[in-house]
């Protein structure tokens, strides 16, 4: 297992035979979620290891006792107040968000460091959606929305289906459950960054929510009756939960990385340096994706039962997420810039951005050193037939169909950018959306996966419906749905297979050799140690930043981030 480029390998026929076998074993499926390129049949080599299975069972061992106790309580005490949602946590610790989720500060902070901090974007002063705020009711006379837009202080989370960056759920009408209908609200939520005294201090605050996208519809604000405002915020949480699961999580990590893993297996020999670099970051992903299709996104499965739309509508959200994703535009620095969220002076508090960029730089430094060692010149890139076949098949409409992927790699710098994006997506990006599910989403009163009544309507007297506590409870999931939500989201976030930048565990299972045995005697071994050191430095900075944050953000602490989409 000596890392070797194809042009330098004396065993060219052996490499060719290996790749022929791989191309038979890894074939594309374009039918399941057309036109996406997925895997047709998972090869045995991708199966979970015995270590993985044993560790995952142990990690979820507290769940049965918790659910048994919750079941006993539920039959005696039906869900008739918000406190009941806390009572599901009998053995498992109650998430911290349960104590603050009704506050505006928690609601706003979740846009910056919650389970789905990738929706909020700066609202440009030329954006017509700013006109919605022109006649905000119940706001101080001194509030000048046009000046706030001009000063770049207004942000939007838009779930109406009209935002070019996220077009779902415009077609979603809602699914059913055994006692009635489920709904998926399509709100717009507006936020303002407001400075508090010292120039570099401030906070994000919600200023308005539009539940009905029709022009002139009611704008809910913090000045409305508390239950009306809480209801509006919960509708945003429902929309955000569906966006999280099908777009940010399934679509833009699991599914967009699948064709890259397939093509890597098909076009790069086992000892190709790029294969050796990437395979730990694809560990168990193809098996998990296949299980998701058969056990989560199946008729009667958790996605069908728990999310707001019908199964077909919900799957369409994932397809839409993939079709609007591209490898170049979703590199972290570019993605942040596209949303207007990259300016630290303008927006000094954005934990997902700040911690994510620390990890991005550590990954890019490691990838740069690694690839420059194997490709000291761009000539070596040009001569690597396997690499060029890899790029060509990834970009091809008869291959991986990966948007933003060039058909040919011209320079080592170009390859560095591509590989950094892939590793960040499989590691930090997936960890950021996966492991926050328990803290923010298993407690159903904070982020319901569906609404169980529609948004407020207009009475015959042309008066907006007044919300009561009963209406809030009707909106939230009933007992079985809340219990199922807790169960599945705990399972999905309870186990960590490995740790970003630490490769021995996966290397020993993949190659029966340690990382040091494969790269011993080369600078790569020292580069990996430096990578770990840089990640440790990033963790120290994150710990220091968390001391100053109202709510600590631990999702991107390197010690809690995985190498791969292994769950």
Q: For residue 420, what pLDDT is reported?
A: 98
Per residue in 526-535, pLDDT (tens digit) is 999 999 999 9
Beta bridge partners of 458: 464
Q: How far apart are CA 216 and CA 471, in angstroms?
A: 24
- Dist CA 101 CA 234 (whole Å): 10
Whether residue 73 is predicted with pLDDT greater than 90 in this model: the reply is no
pLDDT confidence tier of residue 1, bands split at 50, 70 and 90 = confident
207 sits in which H/E element: strand 202-210
Tell me: the pLDDT tens digits for 33-46?
Answer: 999 999 999 999 99
Q: Could you tell me where the DSSP H helices lie in 133-225?
A: 145-150
Nearest to 39 by CA among 53, 52, 16, 22: 22
Q: Which pTM was predicted?
A: 0.96
pLDDT at position 163 is 61
Q: Is the pLDDT of residue 313 over 70?
A: yes
Mean pLDDT calculated for residue range 2-11: 95
Find the angle CA(355)-CA(357)-CA(363) to the nearest 5 degrees: 110
Over range 496-505, report the average pLDDT.
97
Q: Which of 78-82, 111-115, 235-239, 420-424 has the lowest mean pLDDT?
A: 78-82
| 196-227 pLDDT tens trace | 765 457 899 999 999 998 888 899 999 999 99
pLDDT score recorded for residue 143: 76
**Residues sharing a CB contact under 8 Å with residue 178, sequence separation 6 or more, in sequence order:** none
Name every residue whose Cβ is closer than 8 Å to that of residue 412 and which is 6 or more positions away in sequence.
371, 372, 375, 377, 378, 381
Whether the Cβ atoms of residue 351 and residue 392 lie closer than 8 Å to each other: no
- pLDDT-derived band at 107, boundaries 50, 70, 90: very high
Mean pLDDT for the chain? 93
């Amino acid at each position: 297992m000596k890392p070797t480029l194809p042009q330098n390998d004396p065993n060219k026929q052996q490499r060719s035979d290996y790749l022929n076998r791989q191309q038979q074993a890894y074939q594309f499926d374009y039918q399941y979620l057309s036109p996406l390129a997925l895997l047709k049949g998972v090869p045995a080599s991708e199966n979970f290891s015995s270590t993985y299975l044993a560790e995952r069972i142990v990690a979820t061992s507290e769940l049965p006792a918790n659910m048994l106790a919750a079941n006993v309580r539920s039959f005696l005490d039906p869900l008739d107040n918000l406190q009941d949602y806390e009572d599901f946590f009998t053995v498992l610790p109650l998430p911290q968000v349960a104590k603050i989720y009704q506050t505006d500060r928690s609601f706003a902070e979740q846009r910056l460091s919650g389970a789905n901090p990738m929706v909020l974007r700066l609202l440009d002063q030329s954006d017509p959606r700013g006109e919605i705020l022109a006649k905000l009711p119940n706001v101080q006379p001194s509030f000048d929305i046009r000046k706030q837009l001009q000063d770049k202080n207004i942000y939007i989370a838009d779930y109406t289906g009209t935002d070019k960056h996220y077009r779902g759920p415009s077609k979603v009408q809602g699914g059913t459950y055994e006692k009635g209908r489920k709904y998926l609200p399509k709100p717009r939520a507006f936020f303002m960054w407001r400075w508090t005294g010292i120039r570099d201090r401030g906070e994000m605050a919600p200023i308005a929510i539009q539940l009905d996208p029709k022009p002139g519809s009611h704008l809910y604000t913090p000045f409305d009756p508390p239950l009306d405002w809480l209801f509006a915020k919960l509708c945003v949480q429902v929309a955000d939960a569906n966006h999280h699961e099908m777009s940010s999580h399934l679509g833009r990590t699991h599914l967009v990385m699948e064709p890259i893993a397939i093509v890597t297996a098909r076009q790069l020999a086992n000892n190709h340096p790029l294969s050796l670099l990437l395979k730990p970051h694809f560990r168990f992903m193809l098996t998990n994706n296949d299980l998701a299709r058969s056990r989560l996104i199946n008729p009667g499965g958790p996605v069908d039962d728990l999310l707001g739309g019908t199964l077909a509508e919900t799957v369409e959200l994932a397809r839409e997420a993939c079709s609007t994703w591209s490898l170049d535009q979703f590199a972290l620095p570019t993605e942040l810039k596209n949303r207007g969220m990259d300016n630290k002076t303008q927006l000094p508090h954005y934990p997902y951005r700040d911690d994510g960029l620390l990890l991005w730089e550590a990954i890019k430094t490691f990838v740069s050193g690694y690839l420059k060692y194997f490709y000291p010149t761009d000539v070596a890139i040009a001569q690597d037939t396997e690499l060029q076949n890899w790029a060509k098949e990834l970009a091809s409409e008869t291959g991986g169909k990966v948007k933003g992927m060039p058909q040919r790699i011209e320079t080592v710098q170009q390859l560095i950018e591509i590989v950094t994006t892939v590793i960040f997506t499989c590691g930090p990006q997936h960890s950021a959306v996966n492991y926050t599910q328990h803290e923010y989403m298993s407690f159903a009163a904070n982020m319901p996966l569906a609404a169980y009544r529609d948004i407020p309507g207009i009475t015959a007297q042309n008066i907006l419906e007044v919300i009561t506590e009963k209406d809030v409870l009707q909106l939230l999931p009933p007992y079985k749905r809340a219990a199922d939500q807790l169960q599945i989201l705990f399972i999905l976030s309870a186990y960590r297979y490995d740790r970003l930048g630490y490769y021995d565990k996966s290397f020993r299972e993949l190659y029966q050799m340690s990382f040091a045995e494969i790269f011993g005697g080369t600078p790569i071994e020292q580069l990996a140690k430096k990578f770990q050191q840089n990640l440790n430095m990033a963790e120290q900075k994150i710990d220091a930043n968390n001391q100053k944050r109202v709510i600590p953000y631990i999702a991107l602490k390197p010690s809690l981030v995985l190498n791969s989409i292994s769950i």
